[in-house]
Amino acid sequence: MPNHNIIIGGGPTATNAVETIRQFDNGDSQITLISDEPAHSRMALPYWIAGSIPRAHTLTGNDEYFQKFATVTRIGERVASIDPPNNQVTLSDGSKLDYDNLLIATGASPLDPGIPGSDLDGVQPLWTLAHTESLLNSASVNEQPRVVLVGAGFIGFIVLNAMFKRGWQLSVVERESQVLPRMLDTGAAGFVQSWLASKNVTVHTGTSVHSIREGDDGAKVVELGNGSSIEADIVILATGIQPNLDVVAGSGIETGQGILVNDQMQTNFSNIYAGGDVAQGPVLLGDQSDMHPIQPTAVDHGRVAGANMAGHEVHYPGSLLMNVVDVCGLQTASFGAWNDADADAMTIANEPGFVYRKLLWQDDQIVGAIFAGRANDLGMLTDVGMVKGILQTQTAMGEWKKFLAANPFDMRRAYIATGVAKKLVNTTLLGKPTRGRQFQFGGAKPVVPENPSHAVFVGTKEG
């Protein structure tokens, strides 16, 4: 009998594991994927909210795709429990499946903030396909609904940006003293709050939501801890997430904040793997395991787990803490140890121009960074990507540290001179060139439009 690989989940960890298993085993194993939702990208949901894509474009796999990879799918089903000694999972309907290898990619769920009135109609989290559909249905009766976003973290601001594009009336409540408290320092956060004020987005920091009640006109009244209140048609709860660990309860699979994994994505049972938002594993720039619930980490976890499940030994160097979010037209990003109080900091802050850059150093090595700026000053440049590459390769900058102190906007010269680009070119996660995702909606092929900005780099030779 061929080995049977069971994958629990339908997010990027799961689909990348499927493709990687087939990349290395040439179809010699069985794969069963069990997911309570269709395979999709959560990071695509804001584009659906913004009206940039239809619901169907959030999907990352369909029947034809899974058939191509000889994968049996059980969509709409859940795994209730895992029995590691007997290599068996039990589904919610009581049926049992045997496995040789198991990947747990159950993701995370929104935290319940415990706010009185959070069960009212029009009050909801925004995390799943069903949540997104519910929001759009609620908004369909009003072209410019008043929306209160409870929580000003990374996830909340991704949603905020999508709603801003729809022209909705937006207010934000954050109990911490600043927005994006787990992504930006106070300096960068101040730039963001000034930017939001210029875009008519009202921000309430340093206060929490005391309760939510029905108003006389059918609107929601959001009562704040400081005694003020906000009227809203829709209230979005974005107060954090927690890993979905219920499936491993009582199984003997070791957990910390999440499911503990080694650099092969293995749990304390060598044939049980975990990845994505549910996993706590190796990180760059540190010896401790941690959780980085972001899509790039989920993709890496899926590829590493898939390779090892297929018998191709791969060791993961660790994930890099990073967050990049567009805040209503202001680009923000942070990487690595962005809040290291012991680091040597180089900071540029031009508030009128909305330019904020901060590099954090330990000796001659960059260990963290923060960026904020307009798209043309930040997103259209490659400085953010170069700093990310420096962190990923953990390159010592030597004398180029002094150069960057004097020339903070000339990252390219230091990046090239220290050999970071060459290191990245010669780096692979699996020991083979990366393959692009094998699913495109409607079977379409990726198209890269011509860009005049790239003319200097291409098409310069005749013939």
| Residue ranges per structural domain of the chain | 4-109+242-309, 123-239, 337-418
CA distance 157 to 326: 8
What φ, ψ does residue 366 adopt, rounded to 5°? -75, 125
Unique residue bearing structure tokens 């963001």: 192
Pairing label, strands 88-91, 96-98: antiparallel
- Between CA 369 and CA 362 the distance in angstroms is 12
- For residues 30 and 39, the answer to whether their CB atoms sit within 8 Å is no
Per residue in 266-304, pLDDT tens? 999 999 999 999 999 999 988 889 999 999 999 999 999
Q: Is 337-418 the same fold as 123-239?
A: no
Tell me the per-residue pLDDT of 72-120, one tens digit each, with 9 for 90 and over: 999 999 999 999 999 999 999 999 999 999 999 999 999 999 999 999 9
Q: Which amino acid is at 340?
A: D
Under 8 Å between Cβ of 293 and 42:
no
**Homologous superfamily of domain range 123-239:** FAD/NAD(P)-binding domain (3.50.50.60)
Residue with tokens 């939001």, as numbered in its chain: 196
**pLDDT score recorded for residue 381:** 66
Other CB atoms within 10 A of residue 36 CB: 16
Q: Encode pLDDT of 377-408 as tens digits.
A: 775 668 999 999 999 999 999 999 999 999 98
Residue 433 tokens read as: 């060139």
The encoded tokens of residue 1 equal: 């009998």
Q: Give the separation between CA 15 and CA 449, rounded to whole angstroms.
A: 27
Q: What is the DSSP secondary structure assignment for residue 13, as one 8-state letter?
A: H
Q: How confident is the model at residue 462 (pLDDT cuts 50, 70, 90)?
A: very low
What was the pLDDT predicted at 454? 58
What backbone phi and psi angles, to 5 degrees, belong to 120?
-70, 155
- Residue 368: count other Cβ atoms within 10 Å of its Cβ: 23
pLDDT of residue 143: 86
Cα–Cα distance measured from residue 323 to residue 239, given in angstroms and rounded to the nearest whole number? 17
Band of the pLDDT at 409, cuts 50, 70, 90?
confident
pTM of the model: 0.94
Q: Pairing mode, if any, of strands 234-237 and 146-150?
A: parallel
Per CATH, the number for 337-418 is: 3.30.390
Phi and psi of 406, rounded to 5°? -90, -25
Specify the length of the chain in residues: 463
| CATH top class, domain 4-109+242-309 | alpha beta
Helix (H) or strand (E) holding 347: strand 344-350
